[in-house]
Structure formats: C-alpha cells, structure tokens
Structure 1
Amino acid sequence: MSLNGKYSLGILLTFVLLAVVMMYTFPLIGFITGIRSLTAVSFFFTRMVFWIVLGLVILYSHYIEKSSITLWKDKKYSVAFYVGSVICLYFICAFGSGFLNLLIKMATQEKTSGKLIQMHSIFKNNYFLIIFTCLTAGVVEESLMRGYIQTRIEKIYKSPFLGIAVSSVLFGILHSTYGTIVQVVGPLFIGIVFAVFYKRYSNIKIIIMCHFLYDFVSLMMMNFIDIKHLSAFLPL
C-alpha cells in the first residue's frame, strides 16, 4: 500500500473510532458496569476511551505510516505569542460560535440538548472531572482532528483548503451526537478557526490550550449559571 493509501486508511479508521466512541461507549459501559444513567463515573470512563483511541492512532502512525501523529513540526514562538494567541482564539471562538448559535436558536426555537442538561448535573462542583474532560477534549480532539486528519488530507490532495474543510466538517459531525443543530454549527465554526490558525502558524500546542480553555470556562460557568442561559456558549 502506498503512503497516501496508508494515510487514507488512517483517516478513515480515526473517524470511525471516534464516531463509535461518541455513539456506543456509554451504552457499552452501562452494559458492563450496570450503570444505566449518566454519572460522573461512567462519564469518566468514556473520556478514558478517547485516550485509548489517541494511543491507537499514535501506534498506527508510528508503525504503519512510519511518521509522527502530526506531519507538521511545531514552530517555536515566544511566551507572549502563546498567551496572546490563546486569548484571541478564545474570544473569536466564544463570540463567533455564540452569535451563530443564537441565530439558530431564534430561527429554529431549538431546545437545549438533553445530553448537555444531563451533563450539567454531573459536572456540578466536580472540578476533577471538569479538568480531566477539558484536558481530554483539548489533547485528544486536536491531536486527531487537526494534527492527524488535517495534515494528511492536505498531504494526500495537496490542498490546504481541503485539509481545513474536511477536518472542520468531521469535527462538527462528531458533535451531532448531542442531538442539536447548535452543537454541530458551533464546533464546525470553531473547527474552521482552529484549522486556519494551525495551517498559518503550525503549532498544535496553542490549539490544544485554547480548546482546553474554551471548555473549562464553559463548564465552570455551568456551575454557577443555569445551562438554559448558556445555550450559546456550550463546551465542545
């Protein structure tokens, strides 16, 4: 198999694994443990499975592709650039996705995702779970969607546009398991922002930190404000 063929297979496997995790991990954990309702423990186990997927993709890229999970080498920047970039990206994502989500809410009268309402109760004052969830989202999702998929799509088709578009669309589709249009459009927009930044500055660490910050702020706000009032600013 050619290298591009290995890349294509890796992209397919990565997306399928993530989709399976998003759709079937919780029912499987419920079957094994007998815990049928969404609890902090069951949710923690679902996040652990994401780390397993990341490990499998790292092994695939190392032993099958003979390359690192990110084809692009991280460029080095000053501490000030890191801080400034994370803050700027956060506000672009927060206000951009918030504006789009509010438009969708007004146009469709869509209700808040039932899954997110359930999650609200398990995150209440559970700071360990909040931090672990945000760390998982930042490291795993960005390493796979931007670091792995975006770079390989661009390499296969020699098109930065396709790398950005495909990785962002897949990122949005994965969030469709929340059952609302808002939870697809918001991640899609943020995926585009992250992908464009990653292509321009080639630093996955900044994207990971911003993703962590976005989710951390959202989940912490859920501790103090009714989730119905945060429908435009929900975690990824």
Structure 2
Amino acid sequence: MNLNGKYALGILLTFVLLAAVMLYVFPLIYFITGIKAFNAANFFYTRIALWTVLGLVFLYSLFIEKNTFLLWKDKKYSTLFYIKAVIALYLICAFGSSFLNLIIQLLTREGMSNKLAQISLVFKNNYLLIIFTCFTAGAVEEFLMRGYIQPRIEKIYNSPYVGIIGSAALFGILHSTYGTIGQVVIPFFIGTVFALFYKKYSNIKILIICHCMYDLVSMMILNFIDIKHLSAF
C-alpha cells in the first residue's frame, strides 16, 4: 500500500473509532460497570475512551504510516500572538455560532437535544468534570481533526480546500449524535474556521487553547443557566 493509501486508511480508522465512541461507548460502559446510568463517572469513562482513540491513531501514524503524527510542524509565535489569535478565534466562533443558531432557531424552532439536556445535569457544579471534558475535547478533537486528518486529506487530493472542507465536514458529522441540526452546522462552521487558521499558521496549540476556552464558556453556561432556557444559547 502506498503512503496515500495508508493516509486514507488512517482517516477512515479515525472516523470509525470516533463514531463508535460517540454511538456505542455508553452501552459498553454500562455493560462493564454494571451501572446503567448517565452519571458523572460513566461520562468520565467516555472521555478516557476518546484519549484511547488518540493513542491508537498516534500508534498507527508511527508504526503503519511510519511518519510523524503532525505532518505540519508547529510554527513558533510570540506570547502576544497567542493571546491575539485565541481571542480573535474565540470571538469569530462565538459570534458566528450565535448568528447561525439564531437562523436555525427561526427556521426550525428546534429545541435543545435530550442528550445535551442529560449532559447539562451531569455537569451541574461538577467543575473537575467540566475542566477535564473541555481539555479532552480541545486536545483530542484538535489533534485528530486538524492535526491528523486535515493535512492527510490535503496530501491525498493535493488541495488545501479539500483538506479544510473535508476535515470540517467530518467534525460536523461526528457531532450529529447530539440530535439537532445546530449541532452539525455550528461544529462545521467552527471546524472550517479552525482549519483555515491551521492551514495559514500551522499551530495546533492555539487551536487547542481556543477550543478548550470555547467549550469551557459553553459548559459554564450549561452549569448556571436554567435548563429550560438553554436552547437560546
């Protein structure tokens, strides 16, 4: 198998593993623990499963592709650039997502998904779980979606645009398990913004920080706002 074939297989492996975690990890955890409840402990184990996926993909890149996990070497920037980039990315994602959410609400009047409602109850005042969840999402999703998948799609199709749109589309599709249109469209938008930034500046650390911050603000809203008002956000 040539290198592009190995890249394609790695992308497929990554998507299948992430989809399996999103769809089937809770039943597996219920079976292992014997506790059929959507609680903090079981949710914590699902985050461990995501780290496991990252580890498996890393091993695949090392031993099957025989290549570095990050095809694009991280560029170094000043502390001031980090601060400006994180703030700019956050504001673009926050305002863009709010606008898209407003449009979706006007067109579909869809409410908050049952899964998100369950998650909001699990996170209630559990700050350690919130922090660990945000860090997991930021690190695992950025390493896999932008760091691993985006450059390899670009290599296969010899097109940066296919890499950007392809990685963003996979990012949106994986969030479809939350059960709403907004949870596909908004992640696709954020994935596109992040992919454009990664292509231009080649720095995964900035994306991880911004992703963590974005999720942390969202989770704190989930924590403090009454659940019946959450669809507005």
Tell me the TM-score normalised to structure 2 length. 0.98
Partner of 1:38, secondary structure, is: coil
- Alpha-carbon offset, residue 228 of structure 1: 4.2
Residue number in structure 1 paired with 2:140? 140
Which whole-Å deviations, capped at 9, do the CAs of 1:32-82 have from their partners, x for residues lacking one?
212222100000000000000000000000111111211000010000000
- Alpha-carbon offset, residue 129 of structure 1: 0.3
Written as runs of structure 1 = structure 2, the 5 A alignment for 1:98-117 is: 98-117=98-117
Which whole-Å deviations, capped at 9, do the CAs of 1:95-154 have from their partners, x for residues lacking one?
101110111111111111110111111111111100100011000000000000000000
User: In 2, Cα distance between the equivalents of 1:50 and 1:140?
Assistant: 7
Residue number in structure 1 paired with 2:172? 172
Is contact 2:18–2:50 with CA below 8 Å preserved after alignment? Answer: yes
Written as runs of structure 1 = structure 2, the 5 A alignment for 1:81-92 is: 81-92=81-92
Q: CA RMSD in A?
A: 1.0
Q: Which ranges in structure 2 are unaligned for 5 or more consecutive residues?
A: none
Written as runs of structure 1 = structure 2, the 5 A alignment for 1:55-134 is: 55-134=55-134
> What amino acid maps onto 1:107 in structure 2?
L
Does 221-230 or 57-66 show the bigger shift? 221-230
Q: Percent identity over the alignment? A: 70
Matched length: 233
> What amino acid maps onto 1:61 in structure 2?
S
Is contact 1:97–1:232 with CA below 8 Å preserved after alignment? Answer: no
- Alpha-carbon offset, residue 229 of structure 1: 3.2
Q: Which ranges in structure 1 are unaligned for 5 or more consecutive residues?
A: none
TM-aligned CA distance change 1:16 to 1:10, over 3 Å: same
Does 99-108 or 48-57 show the bigger shift? 99-108
Partner of 1:99, secondary structure, is: helix
User: In 2, Cα distance between the equivalents of 1:126 and 1:117?
Assistant: 15
Partner of 2:224, secondary structure, is: coil
Residue number in structure 2 paired with 1:185? 185
Is contact 1:153–1:162 with CA below 8 Å preserved after alignment? Answer: yes
Is contact 1:50–1:140 with CA below 8 Å preserved after alignment? Answer: yes
Is contact 1:98–1:232 with CA below 8 Å preserved after alignment? Answer: no
Does 32-41 or 151-160 show the bigger shift? 32-41
Which whole-Å deviations, capped at 9, do the CAs of 1:151-189 have from their partners, x for residues lacking one?
000011110000001000000000000000011011000
TM-aligned CA distance change 1:25 to 1:123, over 3 Å: same
> What amino acid maps onto 1:154 in structure 2?
E
